[in-house]
Structure 1
Amino acid sequence: MTTKAQDSKRELTQELIDVLTLEKLEEDLFRGQSRNFVGNRVFGGQVLGQALRAASLTTDGRPAHSLHAYFLNAGDIAAPIVYQVDRLRDGRSFVSRQVRAIQYGKLIFTMLVSFAPIEEGLNFQIDMPVVPEPESLKTEQELKKLIAPFLPEKVRANLMRERQVELRPINPTNPFAPVPEVPSRAHWMRVPTRLPDDPSLHQSIIAFSSDFSLMGAGLMPHGVSFMTPSLQAASIDHSMHFHRPARADDWLLYDMEATVTSNARGLNFGRMWQNGQLVVSTNQEGLMRLRETEQK
């Protein structure tokens, strides 16, 4: 990797850390800045990561073990978001928080999150899927370069923006020419530069990354992608369970599937694996509505 590429990746990583570094306004009240990650609306992963970070700043440092969130209104990337944390419980084993995200005086997101210490106990997991190693796969950026020459310039510019998190798809598809497929997808992901040894930061970045591609699993049986002009898509809710400690700067395999689409909604599930261990499970319902297009 060239020095210029390394510098670019460090800048992208620092941008992500900056987004997840909140300003404390007063006790249990924080402010986060927004970035254009996916377009004019605030990326759901950004709000997940910032809300989890806000909640963790009001605890004694124990890690989160679960969160359950609802996206209530679209956020505006041109304005900061205020996070208000309510202390619901401070127990010997479990700490519970509610986080409300507010923009322009309106509630746009709410989340319940529970924290618990690492402890010994019963231990079981299903087997990790057998997939190619990340080093044998093309990066998402390399794959985008293959289709970029065939796209309009405006679309190409947005497509080629590099993510803060490096993705390596297992079975890549062309989002501009989707075909009906079995609703199962997977990619390796990591932050490509070393992060501080801060478990809260790693969990927040993993929460941020958990929103990439998850809803897309539910679109696959219909031959639809996020680039389909008639598609109206948005996250409705999102939950995560953190089973074991994990690092966001080491390879995570994100295995995703969908079980049902109905009533303009789809239910999607995900599992994250690191070094053979199941470390995180995710669950998301998303709006998947096909609007009627005007006839020419």
Structure 2
Amino acid sequence: MPYGRIYGGQVLAQSVVAASRTVGEDRPIHSMHGYFLRPGNAAQGLTFSVDRLRDGRSFSARRTQAFQDGVPIFSMIASFQTQDDGVEHAVPAPGVPGPDDLPDPLAEGTSSRRRLRDSPIELRHVPGSLYTDVPAERQPHQAVWLRTRREMPEDPLVHRAALAYLSDMTIQESILRAHGLTWYSPGLNVASLDHAMWWHRPARADEWLLYVQESPTARGGRGLANGRIYTRDGLLVASVAQEVMVRVPSEG
């Protein structure tokens, strides 16, 4: 990340793994709620602490904190559940162009190419990305196809953690689009404040996933963003909510 910060999705994903290692494989994570407390320093290591809050017949709860220099930079509570049957429905995926029909952002401006070339994640925006061009229309929503660039192990926990990693990526952009901003708008300061995620169904992070995002509101230097993640064949696999600090210089 710029300025030597740790990408928040990395800390989130590692916290998911740390908590999951204290629960049996028959109880996968189904939800988490966390707060980004301080920016992480990418030049330093992380220490994870897991508290066992509850182990019931069907559900378990864990609190995980990520530390640097003896202080927490991220704190979350996660819930785990044994596989169970029940009612089932899902909001269908919107009709958008497929990833093969969209431009590769690596073909855009030099600065965005340099940033994305080393990323482990491949992205395709609907409409175009916010790395260079100001959005043609101010609208508080977008969709992004994304996947890991390389094939991942078969371990379901690895894919659940990778999905958490992906969930912190681009969701802030629905707020930026609503105000005609790009990642390179002068003076823009964006930081994730908190993050909530619900895993509904299994999915592979190394296959194309559609991340549908919208922002219902922004006020007081904060914006709220919601997201839904679908498989390429339209299966809803996760839901996300995040509040974001968004600061722009005052005009005049």
Q: TM-score range by the shorter chain?
A: over 0.9
Q: 1:44: which partner in 2?
A: 8
Residue 76 of structure 1 aligns with an amino acid whose one-letter code is N
Q: Say if 2:141 is the partner of 1:137.
A: no
In structure 2, distance between residues paired with 1:72 and 1:227: 25
Aligned length: 249
Q: Say if 2:41 is the partner of 1:60.
A: no
| Deviation for aligned residue 1:192 | 3.2
Aligned to 2:123: 167
Q: CA separation in 2, counterparts of 1:186 and 1:159? A: 20
Superposed displacement of residue 226, structure 1: 2.2
Equivalent of residue 110 in structure 1, options 51, 72, 75: 75
Q: Which residue in the other structure is 1:288 paired with?
A: 246
Q: Residue 181 of structure 1 corresponds to which residue in structure 2?
A: 138
Do 1:272 and 1:281's aligned partners in 2 also have CA atoms closer than 8 Å?
A: yes
User: Equivalents in 1 of 2:130, 2:33: separation in Å?
Assistant: 32
Change (3 A) 1:247 1:86: same
Distance 2:159 2:2 in 1: 21
**Are 1:84 and 2:40 an aligned pair?**
no
> C-alpha separation between the residues in 1 aligned to 2:73 and 2:85?
38
Percent of matched pairs sharing the same residue: 38
Distance 1:172 1:109, change over 3 A: same
Matched-pair contact (CA < 8 Å) for 1:176–1:228:
no
| Structure 2 Cα separation of the partners of residues 86 and 110 of structure 1 | 11
Instruction: Give the gaps of 5 or more residues in structure 2.
Output: none
Q: Deviations over 1:104-127 (max 9, x none)?
A: 111111000001122221011112
Q: 1:71 aligns to what?
A: 36
Sort the Cα spacing of 1:84 and 1:174 in 2 relative to 1 into closer, same or farther, 3 A: closer
Find the residue that maps to 1:247 and give its secondary structure: coil
- Counterpart residue type for residue 39 of structure 2: A
- TM-score, L = length of structure 1: 0.79
**SS at structure 1 position matched to 2:117:** coil
Q: Of 126, 131, 145, which aligns to 2:91?
A: 126
The structure that has the greater radius of gyration is 1
Q: Distance in 2 between matches of 1:66 and 1:174?
A: 29
Question: Quick check: which one's helix share is greater?
Answer: 1
Aligned-partner Cα distance in 2 for 1:171–1:156: 16
